[in-house]
C-alpha cells in the first residue's frame, strides 16, 4: 500500500533492523511521499544519517529518528534524533507534538549508537550479566535485587529481557560494541557464552514462549513459572531470595533513604548494589557530552523509557557525589574528568532547588 503514503502528513518506518532493507523502503516511499511531509524512522540503534543517504534534499530536511519505546501505550519515552540535514523547525515541531499531543516525555538525542536510553539501559543489563558471574548470583536473585526495591519495574532485569526480546538486547549490545570503539566500558557489551547459546537455541523470551523464564502447568493444572539455571541452561522452579540487606531495607518507604541502606549493606546484596551503582555512575559520567549535552536528558530518558522511578544522576546525588566518587576509586571505577572539576568547584550536586525552581548542573558552562 505504498501509494497511500501520498495521503500522509507523517510517515513512520518500523521495519526490521537492517540498514539495507530500510534504505530500500525509503527509496520506494520517496516515490509517493508529498514534499514537505514528515518521514521518520523508529529504529532503536541504526545511525539515522545513514538511512537518509541518497535521498532528495526535501526528504533529508524532513527526516529524523522518532524512537518510540515499546510498548508505546505504557512507556512514555519518545527519542527525537535529528541528522545534520534535519530542519530545526521539524525538530521543534516533533518535540512539541510528542509532548503536548502524544503525552510523551520527548527527549532530544544525538545520532550516536543506541541513542540515550538503550545505550545506558543495555549497558546496565550487560553489567548485571557480568555481576551474575562475578558474584555467583542466580536469575531469581538478580530479579529480586533489581526490581521495585530500587525503584525499577517489577520486570527487573531478566524478565525485562524476555519481554523486549533477548535477540533485540543482543543486537543492541553488539551494535554498541562494534560502533563505539572509544567506549571505555566496551568489553561490558561482549556477549557471554551462555547468552550466545540461549540466542542460538531460539529461546528469545515471550515471543518464542521461553527465554530466561518459562510458563508451565503444574501437576494440579496450576500455572507455574520456571527460571533458567545459567550454569546448566535447564529450567528449575523459582526460588525466593533472602538477603539480610534487602529484608532490612524493604520496610523503608522513602526510596532515596532505602537506596542508601542497600548500598551500605554488609552482605552479598550490599556488594552487588555497590558494583551495580558504581559501574552505572562511571558509565553515565563518560557519556556526557557524547550522547547528550544535558544531564537531565539522560535521567528523563531512563525514567520514561525503562520505567525507573529515579534517574541515574539523581541516584548519584542521593548517595552523595563526593563520598561515592572516593568509594568508586577505591573499588577500581573511574569517573569522567568533568565530575572531578565539578567536585573541586562549589557545585556539590547534579540537581538543586533555587527560588522554587529545579536546576541542573550544566557541564559546558560549569554552572546550573
Give the whole-angstrom CA distance, residue 162 versus residue 170.
12
196 among known catalytic residues: no
Give the whole-angstrom CA distance, residue 324 versus residue 319.
7
Q: Which of 13, 42, 62, 67 is catalytic?
A: 67
Give the whole-angstrom CA distance, residue 283 versus residue 252.
28
Report pLDDT digits (tens) over 23-48: 999 999 999 999 999 999 999 888 99
Report pLDDT digits (tens) over 286-344: 999 999 999 999 999 999 999 999 999 999 999 999 999 999 999 999 999 999 999 99
Instruction: Say whether pLDDT at 218 is over 80.
Output: no
Residues 6+ apart with CB under 8 A from 77: 67, 68, 69, 104, 105, 107, 117, 300, 301, 304, 305
67 among known catalytic residues: yes
155 among known catalytic residues: no
Q: Which of 42, 44, 285, 349 is catalytic?
A: 44
Q: Which of 41, 49, 79, 297 is catalytic?
A: 79
49 among known catalytic residues: no
Amino acid at each position: 500500500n505504498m501509494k497511500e503514503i501520498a495521503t500522509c502528513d507523517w510517515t513512520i518506518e518500523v521495519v526490521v533492523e537492517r540498514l539495507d532493507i530500510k534504505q530500500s523502503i525509503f527509496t520506494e516511499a520517496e516515490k509517493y511521499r508529498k514534499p514537505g511531509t514528515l518521514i521518520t524512522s523508529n529504529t532503536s540503534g541504526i545511525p539515522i544519517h545513514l538511512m537518509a543517504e541518497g535521498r532528495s534534499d526535501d526528504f533529508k530536511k524532513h527526516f529524523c529518528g522518532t524512537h518510540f519505546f515499546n510498548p508505546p501505550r505504557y512507556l512514555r519515552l519518545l527519542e527525537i534524533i535529528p541528522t545534520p540535514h534535519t530542519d530545526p523547525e521539524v525538530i521543534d515541531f516533533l518535540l512539541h507534538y510528542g509532548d503536548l499531543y502524544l503525552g510523551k516525555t520527548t527527549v532530544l538525542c544525538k545520532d550516536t549508537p543506541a541513542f540515550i536510553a538503550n545505550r545506558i539501559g543495555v549497558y546496565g543489563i550487560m553489567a548485571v550479566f557480568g555481576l551474575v558471574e562475578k558474584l555467583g548470583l542466580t536469575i531469581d536473585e538478580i530479579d529480586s535485587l533489581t526490581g521495585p526495591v530500587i525503584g525499577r519495574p517489577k520486570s527487573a532485569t531478566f524478565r525485562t529481557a524476555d519481554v523486549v526480546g533477548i535477540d533485540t538486547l543482543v543486537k543492541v549490545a553488539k551494535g554498541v560494541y562494534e560502533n563505539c570503539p572509544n567506549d571505555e566500558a566496551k568489553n561490558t557489551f561482549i556477549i557471554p557464552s551462555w547468552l550466545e547459546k540461549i540466542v542460538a537455541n531460539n529461546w528469545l523470551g515471550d515471543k518464542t514462549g521461553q527465554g530466561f523464564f518459562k510458563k508451565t502447568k503444574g501437576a494440579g493444572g496450576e500455572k507455574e513459572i520456571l527460571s533458567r539455571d545459567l550454569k546448566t541452561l535447564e529450567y528449575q522452579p523459582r526460588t525466593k531470595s533472602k538477603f539480610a540487606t534487602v529484608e532490612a531495607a524493604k520496610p523503608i518507604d522513602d526510596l532515596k533513604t532505602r537506596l542508601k541502606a542497600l548500598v551500605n549493606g554488609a552482605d552479598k546484596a550490599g556488594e552487588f548494589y555497590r558494583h551495580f551503582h558504581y559501574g552505572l555512575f562511571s558509565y553515565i559520567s563518560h557519556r556526557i557530552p557524547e550522547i547528550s549535552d544535558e544531564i537531565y536528558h539522560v535521567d528523563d530518558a531512563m525514567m520514561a523509557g525503562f520505567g525507573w522511578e529515579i534517574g541515574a544522576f539523581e541516584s548519584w546525588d542521593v548517595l552523595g557525589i563526593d563520598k561515592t566518587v572516593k568509594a568508586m576509586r577505591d573499588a577500581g571505577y573511574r569517573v569522567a574528568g568533568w565530575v572531578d572539576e565539578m567536585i573541586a568547584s562549589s557545585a556539590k550536586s547534579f540537581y538543586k532547588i533555587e527560588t522554587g525552581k529545579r536546576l541542573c548542573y550544566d557541564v559546558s558552562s560549569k554552572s546550573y
